[in-house]
């Protein structure tokens, strides 16, 4: 089952996430040089690596989700390109595992999320997408804003 909820986080919590992610102490890695995706992992490989900012960024969301544990969580900035491209966002670690996915769209733009077998879901600021089983999906970049931000939590 796929569920979409607009205005998921309260305004202050969303602003706090944006403030932390834009601070000088928040480090980004370049996930894809060709397409220039910036990514920051909060949890990798079911807790093998956990970021200092994890509780502050996703703590309240995890309580809302009633997650037993997080397999993987990250935030990705897909930078602006002249044409729209789709990107598979599931890591090798998640392949062949049973999990749920939560996506939080951080800004409005013309990018989208397309879940296998369904129509594309347009990007709206503070929109949450809940996916209750491992279903392939893609995210896109944007062509009309500087970037498209997506926070992802894969959990059980």
Give the predicted TM-score (pTM) of the model. Answer: 0.95
Q: What is the pLDDT of residue 64?
A: 95
Q: What's the rounded mean pLDDT across residues 84-94?
A: 90
Q: What is the pLDDT of residue 6?
A: 97
8 A C-beta contact, residue 134 and residue 97: yes
Give the list of residues 6+ apart from residue 152 with CB closer than 8 angstroms, or none: 72, 73, 74, 75, 76, 89, 101, 102, 103, 104
Q: Is residue 113 predicted with pLDDT exceeding 80?
A: yes
Q: What's the rounded mean pLDDT across residues 85-112?
A: 94
Tally the domains of the chain. Answer: 1
CATH code for the domain in which residue 107 is found: 2.60.120.620
Tens of pLDDT, residue by residue over 37-47, are 899 999 999 99
CA dist 129 and 109 (Å) reads 16
| Predicted confidence band of residue 32 (pLDDT cuts 50, 70, 90) | confident
Q: Is residue 1 predicted with pLDDT exceeding 90?
A: no
Q: What percent of the chain has pLDDT over 70?
A: 100
| Predicted confidence band of residue 104 (pLDDT cuts 50, 70, 90) | very high
Domain containing residue 135: 2-155
Q: What is the pLDDT of residue 119?
A: 84
Q: What is the pLDDT of residue 34?
A: 78
Tens of pLDDT, residue by residue over 54-72, are 999 999 999 999 999 999 9
- Output DSSP code: residue 94: G
């Amino acid at each position: 089952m796929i569920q979409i909820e607009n205005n998921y986080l309260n305004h202050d919590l969303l602003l706090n996430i944006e403030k932390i992610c834009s601070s000088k102490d928040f480090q980004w890695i370049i996930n894809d040089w060709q397409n220039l995706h910036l990514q920051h992992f909060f949890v990798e490989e079911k807790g093998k690596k956990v970021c200092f900012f994890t509780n502050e960024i996703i703590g309240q969301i995890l309580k809302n989700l009633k997650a037993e544990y997080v397999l993987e969580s990250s935030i990705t900035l897909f930078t602006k390109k002249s044409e729209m491209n789709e990107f598979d966002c599931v890591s090798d670690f998640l392949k062949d595992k049973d999990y749920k996915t939560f996506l939080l769209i951080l800004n409005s733009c013309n990018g989208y999320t397309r879940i296998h077998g369904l129509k594309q879901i347009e990007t709206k600021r503070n929109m949450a997408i809940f996916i209750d089983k491992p279903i392939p999906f893609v995210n896109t970049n944007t062509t009309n804003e500087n970037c498209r931000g997506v926070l992802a939590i894969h959990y059980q």
